[in-house]
Structure 1
C-alpha cells in the first residue's frame, strides 16, 4: 500500500512539473512533503543518507560556483567574452551557437557541466541581447552540449564521479573509454543544431554591424578583481582536476573558491556576490532528491534494478544494451544523479567475477545512458535545471515541453550511436 502511494505521489509531482500547472519548486516540495507524511522518508533518510537523502555535494557545488560566478560577473569579463565571441563569428547566430556549443562541451569535460553552464549562460544572454536574438535556442543547445561533453571525463558530470568511485575507474580510464565516442557525438550534435535551431535564429543585422565595431577590452570594469577572481577560478579548476589526489570533493573545492573570491573582494556587498545564486533551483533539487529518495527507500528503483540484473544473466551484450537504453530512459524521468547512485551498487554485484571487458561494457553503458539520457527532458540532468532557472530569472522562461521536444530527438539519436560504440569496442573487436 505504501509503495503504491509513494509511486502515485512521484508520478503526480512529475506530471505537475511537466505540465507546469504549478511552479516546479512547489511541485517538488509538495511531493517531498507527501513522501514524509507517507513515511517513505524521515529526517535521517532525507538529510543524512547518502543513498536516499539530499545530495549536499551537488547543492553546495552549485552554491559555491554560483557565488564565484557572481563575483566574476562584476568585472565585466562576461561582456568581454560576449563581444569577442560575436565578433569572431561575424555576428551570425548559427556560427555563434556552434562556437558556444564547442566551448561548453570542452569546458564541461575540464570542469563539470553544471559549473560550465553557470559560466556560459551569462555570456550567451549578453550576446543575444547585443544582437537582439532569442537566447532560448542557445541555452537549450548549451545545456545539451554540456551533458555530452561532460561524459568524457571523471569530473565532467556528477554521475561520473559516483561511477568512478564505485567501479574504481580513474580520470584516464574515462578519457580513454569515453573520449572517442564523445568527440563523435559532439560532431553529430553540431549537425543536429543546424536542423533543430537554425530557423529560429533571427537577429538584428544593424545591431550585429554595430557590435563588430566595439572594442571588447573596454568592457572590463575592474581589472584587479578580474585578476584575483580569475586566479581563484583557475585554482578551483585545478582542484576539480586533482580532487582524486587531494581528497577534496568538488563541492568543497567550490565552497573554498567562493569563500576566497569573496574574501579577496572586500568592496563587494553581499547582494552583489549573491546575485547569481539560483535559490529556487537549489530548493527544487532538494525536493527532487527527497522524492527520488522515497522511491529508493521503499524499494521501487532497487526492484527494477534487480529485475534487470536477473534478466541479464550471462548475456552481456543484451545486458549492456539494456543498461544503456534503460538508463537513458530513466535518467530522462528522474535526475541522473540519484539514479546512478541507486544503480551503481547493482552493477557492482552484476559484474563480480565478470571478464574485465564485459565489466567495462556494463559500466560504460551505465555512464553513457545516464549522461546522454539526461538530455531527454528538462529535469533529466542538473545542468538542464540550472539553465532553466537562469533563463527564467532573466525573463526568458523555457517550458518543460519546449526543452523536451528537442531532447526527445537528441537523446535517442546519441544513445543509438553510443550503443554502436559499445557493441563495436567491447564485443565485436574485443
Structure 2
C-alpha cells in the first residue's frame, strides 16, 4: 500500500476514535474526515459526489430526506400522540410489555417498509409514550432500532444491504422470504427474551401514571383530520410503491422524495416550518461518512479485506459461509453495512461463480446478508437506522453515546450472529 492509502486509513481511524469518544461532535468529525480524504487525494470530487460505488449514496440521502418530510408533516396531525396512548393502554402501562409491543411492531414493520422509514415513524411515538409513563427513553429507542435491524433482514426491501444483494445476485422478494424470514422470526424471539434482561433497569412501573393513561381517549389527540387523511393516502401510496419498486422500476429514493414533496405541497403547511423538523445534521453525517468510506474503496482497502477473506477459505463452502457470516461483522460495524456490502458484494459474486454458480453455492448470499444485516446492531454508525435514531434522540434531548449503544449492541450482535451461523450450517449443510 502507498502513502495515500496509509493516510486514508489513519484519517478513518482518527475520525472513528473521535466519534466513539465524542471528543468532537460526530457531524463535525465525519465532515472533517471527508475533507481530509479529499485533501490527501484518497478520493476526488468526481468520485466523492458522483460515484455509486465510492461516493455519497444519494439514494440513501434522498430516501431519508423524503421520509423525514413525511414524518414532519405527519406529526402535525397528532397521530403520534394517538398511537402512543393506544400502545400504553394496550400494555396497561407495564414497561416490559410496552417494550415487547413496540419492538415486535417495529420488527414487523421494518420487514415490509425499510428500517430507516420504520424508525422515523416509530421513534416519535416511543418518545411520547415514555414521557407519558415516566420511563427512560433511551433503552426503548435502542431496543427498537435493534429490533428494526433484525426485522429488516427478513425481506428484499427491509434493509438497504438486502436491496444491493438482491440486485447483484438477481434474487427476488420471495427468495428473501423463503431463506431469511424463518431465521429472523427466531432472532426476534431471542431478542425479546434478551431485552428482558438487558434493559431490566428501565422497567419501573408507575401505577399512578399508568392509571392516568388508561383514562385518556386516543381519539382526542387528533388535531387535523383532513391532514391525517391526506397523509394516510400519500403514505399508503409510498409504502405500496416501496413493495413494488422492482416492478415499477423506481428507486426507493425517488418514491420517498416524491411522496415527501407531494405531501408537503398538499398539506397547506409553511414549508419553512416543516423543513425545521428535518434531521439535517443526520444527512450531513451520512454524507461525510460516505465520502470517507468511498475513499477506502478508492484506495482498495475494503476490496483487499474481502479478497483476503475469500482466499482464507480455500474454496471450502462451509468455511466460506461461516467467514461471510462472522467475517462481515467487524467491517460492517465499523464502516456502516451499506458501503461494506456495496464494495464486497462483487467479491462474493465471484466466489459464488467460482464455487458452482447459483446452485448449492447460492446460499453464500444468505450467509453474507445475515452477517452484514445483523452487524448493523453493533455500533451507532453500523446501520442507517442507528444514525437516524440517535439524531432524533439528540434533537429531543435524549443523548445516546457511542458506548452506551455498543454496550447493548455488541451483545445482541454476538448472540444473533451466532444463531444465524447455526442456522446457515443447519439448513444448508447438516440438513441439506
For 1:276 and 1:244, locate their aligned partners in 2 and report how far apart those are by CA, in whole Å: 31
Residue by residue over 1:230-287, the C-alpha shift from the partner in whole angstroms, topping out at 9 and shown as x without a partner, is: 1100010000000000000000000111111112112x11233224311110000000
1:51 touches 1:342 (CA, 8 Å); kept in 2? yes
Match of 1:243 among 245, 252, 261: 245
Match of 1:54 in 2: 56
Moved over 6 A (4+): none
Match of 1:20 in 2: 22
Match of 2:363 in 1: 361
Match of 2:106 in 1: 104
Residue by residue over 1:83-142, the C-alpha shift from the partner in whole angstroms, topping out at 9 and shown as x without a partner, is: 000000001111111000011000000100000000000000110111111110000001
For 1:215 and 1:110, locate their aligned partners in 2 and report how far apart those are by CA, in whole Å: 29
**Structure 1 residue 210 and structure 2 residue 209: aligned?**
no
TM-score by length of 1: 0.98
For 1:70 and 1:25, locate their aligned partners in 2 and report how far apart those are by CA, in whole Å: 22
For 1:318 and 1:196, locate their aligned partners in 2 and report how far apart those are by CA, in whole Å: 32
Shift of 1:357: 4.4
Shift of 1:3: 1.0
Residue by residue over 1:287-336, the C-alpha shift from the partner in whole angstroms, topping out at 9 and shown as x without a partner, is: 00001011110011111111112222320100110111111121111110
2:134 touches 2:206 (CA, 8 Å); kept in 1? yes
TM-score by length of 2: 0.98
For 1:283 and 1:69, locate their aligned partners in 2 and report how far apart those are by CA, in whole Å: 19
Match of 2:315 in 1: 314
2:115 touches 2:148 (CA, 8 Å); kept in 1? yes
Match of 2:334 in 1: 333
Match of 1:43 among 42, 45, 51: 45
For 2:184 and 2:17, locate their aligned partners in 1 and report how far apart those are by CA, in whole Å: 32
Match of 1:346 in 2: 347
**Structure 1 residue 174 and structure 2 residue 198: aligned?**
no
Shift of 1:379: 0.8
Secondary structure, counterpart of 1:280 in structure 2: helix
Q: CA RMSD in A?
A: 1.0
Residue by residue over 1:194-247, the C-alpha shift from the partner in whole angstroms, topping out at 9 and shown as x without a partner, is: 000022232533122111100001111111111110110001000000000000
Match of 2:75 in 1: 73
Secondary structure, counterpart of 1:248 in structure 2: coil
Match of 2:131 in 1: 129
1:91 touches 1:211 (CA, 8 Å); kept in 2? yes
1:113 touches 1:146 (CA, 8 Å); kept in 2? yes
For 1:340 and 1:41, locate their aligned partners in 2 and report how far apart those are by CA, in whole Å: 19
For 1:169 and 1:297, locate their aligned partners in 2 and report how far apart those are by CA, in whole Å: 27
Residue by residue over 1:45-99, the C-alpha shift from the partner in whole angstroms, topping out at 9 and shown as x without a partner, is: 1000111000000000000000001111111100000000000000111111100
Shift of 1:353: 4.6
For 2:211 and 2:276, locate their aligned partners in 1 and report how far apart those are by CA, in whole Å: 31
For 2:280 and 2:88, locate their aligned partners in 1 and report how far apart those are by CA, in whole Å: 30
Q: Which runs of 5+ in 2 are unaligned?
A: none
2:115 touches 2:159 (CA, 8 Å); kept in 1? yes
Query: CA 1:271–1:133 in structure 2 vs 1: closer, same or farther (change >3 Å)?
Result: farther
Secondary structure, counterpart of 2:199 in structure 1: helix
